[in-house]
Structure 1
Amino acid sequence: MRDVYQEQLDQLAEVLATMCERVAAALEKATRSLLEVDLQLAEQVISEDVHVDEIRAIAEERAFALLALQAPVATDLRIVVSAIHGAGDVERMGDLALHVAQAARRRHPQPVLPDEVVPYFAEMGRVGVALALKAAEVIRTRDVAAAAQLEEDDDAMDDLHKHMFTVLMDRSWSHGVGPAVDITLLARFYERYADHAVAVARRIVYVVTGQMPGPLTV
């Protein structure tokens, strides 16, 4: 019975890791739709978002079943509770990738981004995808050091997010208010996406150590 129970816990973790990989793929496609003005990619991200919601429902169903039937304690209880909260974080990452794709669709066939900010959003997309994939790895390995590194990697996204304000406030900005609003919102989507990936990693630290790292507002 213990082997079956452990397998159920491992399956729960695997569902969460799979969610991370899904939202990484979503952000990668959404970013390309933004950079390449690709309506088909944007539509693909939008239509596939429902699958992330479905996986979250599976994760929560399995977690609540474990709570009801197994009455987990100590580390096992932390795994189950963290999975429930983590699934919410990862679903939100998927929603943020969806928002990026919706912005690309809304402005099509016109590009959302002026040429001078394209490299920054390409980098934000790269960093976000890497964070989501690393979160999946941390879930599978419960590597506390990798979880801590993920939080350090998030600093790159924070720097890019802050730099966008420098670009928008520069006197040479000539694209008007509309593009500035789009860029502000998009940069915030990427920054929040990264924050949720960090929140997932922090929950793994909690699973392993029993201590939740300091608060993170996402």
Structure 2
Amino acid sequence: MEILEAINPNGEPVKVDYAFYPSVLDAFIRYKKADDDETFDSLLNRINKVKTEQTEDQLRGVQFESDVNAILKGGDVSSINYTEAHKQVAARLINCTGLQEYIEVVIRTRVGNVKLYGIVDYMFDEMAVDLKGTSNYKLNKYKDSTQHPIYSLICKLKGKPLKQFKYLVTDYEKVFQETYIPSDNMFHKLIYLIYEFVEFIEHYKANITDKKIFGLEINKAA
């Protein structure tokens, strides 16, 4: 197993060979499972940041999270149509120490320096929570998501390890929870996935128009 280490734990500018975030790796996982033209195109669109119209379910989820954040911040909540789901979710998040917290780290791997980054919905002292809205929930829906391994690894390498990562999920009537405990096995599975993804984007490099995934725009800024 590789020894995983951060080469910029305090955020110092360093050369980046690849830059990945959870939703692009999640799209790659979906492509690996389906291996068809539709998921291939969807993956390339995600990599190239092609704007697509949000579905009704996605818009509902965004609005629900916005409502919850307004409740937590104590702002104007007069427009919110309170539901039991709003109350339950807000009650579980009331003690969070950060909302929409951006985190990143650059790790040294055998394929080069890889930047991992993203935004944690709700941060606690030793826990991170991602809020999900879905009209169709099933048990362990997010077990293959890369949010929990990526964010847990970033926090660990920055010296603030998480004891658990939770997905707080609502179908807008009930509230569900999935909890994942960070482990070395989780992190190494993530690294192997990253190696597969690097092989994929190098193979289809000619199809990739947004070069940020190769660290180019990041290195210019540094």
Structure with the bigger percentage of helix:
1
Q: TM-score normalised to the size of structure 1?
A: 0.30
Structure with the bigger percentage of strand:
2
Q: TM-score normalised to the size of structure 2?
A: 0.29
